């Protein structure tokens, strides 16, 4: 089975550098809409049997052009939502961004008892994302586009997927509509096949000016 883990398109909160993780969350910027519109062409040669989205509206909006073109009704799974920022919600400082990312990548390194300030610990996050992936795997599809979120994708892949260098996951950004591809199954585990940090639509839909907290690299 192949999972194509696609980050959602740009939101106003990504541009403003806000840790905006609550439900239902913001919609897309005009650039985010163009990023979403570029996905069907970017996946033109890809097998897509199903599309899964999180419960946050930005993932459904990102998936909509691909779902319409392929005639697929997306499956909504709350477990795919972004990692809750807790007491850091709507924070905009660089220090808050780094504390958030340091916490989630600490989980990937095994420190799962560590909690986000006023938020979940690593066990809670990994359990609900694992459950969502298990539901997708139970669908019996060969290739699924999973539209999720920057920190959630990076942290879960770093924790659960073979062949991932956690240092690389920390230091590599995942732009809006960046893509992480994995293969495998629940019994044999997952392995990394590709990590495309830039938008799948190419440089024409790249964000040149944005302070994007959940997709940025973790400072040294």
**Catalytic sites, residue numbers:** 8, 82
How far apart are alpha carbons 70 and 67 in whole angstroms?
5
Q: In 3D, which of 126, 9, 29, 136 has the Cα closest to residue 77?
A: 136
Q: Which of 160, 162, 129, 161 is nearest to 52 (CA)?
A: 129
List all residues 6 or more positions away from 151 whose beta carbon is below 8 Å from its beta carbon. 82, 83, 100, 101, 104, 214, 215
Please count the other Cβ atoms lying within 10 Å of the Cβ belonging to residue 6.
Answer: 31
Backbone phi and psi for residue 197, each to the nearest 5 degrees, phi listed first: -70, -25
Place of tokens 């809006």: 176
From residue 100, alpha-carbon distances to 50, 89, 94 in Å are: 31, 10, 10
Residue for token digits 């839909």? 205
């Amino acid at each position: 089975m192949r999972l194509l883990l696609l980050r959602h398109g740009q939101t106003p909160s990504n541009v403003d550098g806000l840790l905006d993780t609550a439900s239902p969350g913001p919609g897309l910027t005009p650039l985010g809409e163009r990023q979403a519109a570029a996905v069907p062409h970017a996946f033109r040669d890809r097998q897509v049997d199903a599309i899964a989205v999180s419960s946050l509206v930005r993932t459904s909006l990102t998936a909509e052009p691909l779902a319409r073109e392929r005639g697929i009704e997306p499956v909504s799974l709350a477990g795919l939502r972004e990692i809750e920022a807790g007491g850091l919600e709507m924070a905009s400082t660089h220090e808050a961004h780094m504390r958030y990312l340091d916490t989630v990548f600490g989980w990937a390194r095994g420190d799962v008892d560590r909690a986000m300030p006023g938020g979940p610990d690593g066990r809670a996050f990994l359990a609900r994302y694992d459950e969502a992936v298990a539901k997708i795997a139970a669908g019996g599809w060969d290739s699924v586009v999973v539209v999720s979120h920057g920190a959630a994708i990076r942290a879960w892949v770093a924790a659960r997927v073979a062949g991932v260098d956690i240092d690389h996951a920390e230091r590599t950004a995942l732009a809006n509509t960046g893509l992480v591809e994995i293969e495998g199954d629940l019994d044999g585990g997952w392995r990394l096949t590709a990590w495309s940090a830039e938008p799948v639509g190419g440089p024409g839909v790249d964000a040149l000016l944005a302070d994007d907290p959940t997709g940025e690299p973790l400072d040294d």
